Amino acid sequence: MSDTIARRRLHIIQGEAKWGSGEDLVLTTLLGSCVAACLRDPVAGVGGMNHFLLPGGSEGAGKSRSESYGLYLMELLINGLLKKGARRERFEAKLFGGARTVDGLSDIGAKNASFAKEFLRMEGINHVGGDLGGQQGRRIEYWPHTGRARQIFLEKSAALPPPPPPRAQASNGDLELF
């Protein structure tokens, strides 16, 4: 892509899917435990990105409700691309995100990543790259025209400072001051 071409930047937030064409289009998002699927049809020159977080647990009846959110955004992206002339059998996918950003909580990032990989496998969509897991958030930039993706890791939040030491208690006879 020439440096003289102005870029159209579309930012995708959680719960969105966007698609388009043209060598000037760049899709961007910020991810932690969420996952972004970047899909394109290299022949039609069209591509897009979604950004999802599976809500809730993944046990029993909650699993179908939870996965329906990711399923909805994957289908929304696929149908948007098909309407722009893409063909399902030519899709290439890159997956990003799924980090474990908070210690001590369930690893929702791993569940998101697992869902996305399984979806691609079940749908017969060629998974050509990306980066899943880890412990850091990331910014993703994706050029659907070429399939180029750039990942920029975000600094982990600094740990909270230790609490201040307790103040010494002054004693003045029978009265204690705090």
- Catalytic residue flag (residue 38): no
8 Å CB contact between 8 and 22: yes
Say which residues have a Cβ less than 8 Å from residue 99's Cβ, sequence separation at least 6. 31, 32, 33, 109, 133, 134, 135, 136, 137, 138
8 Å CB contact between 19 and 77: yes
Q: What share of the chain is helix, strand, coil (3-state, %, to 5)?
A: 25, 35, 45
Burial class (CB in 10 A: 0-12, 13-18, 19+), 36: buried
**Which of 148-170 are b and which e, b meaning 16 or more Cβ less than 10 Å from the residue's Cβ?**
ebeeeeeeeeeeeeeeeeeeeee
Alpha carbon distance 71, 11 (integer Å): 21
Q: Catalytic: which of 17, 27, 34, 39?
A: 34
- Residues annotated as catalytic are 34
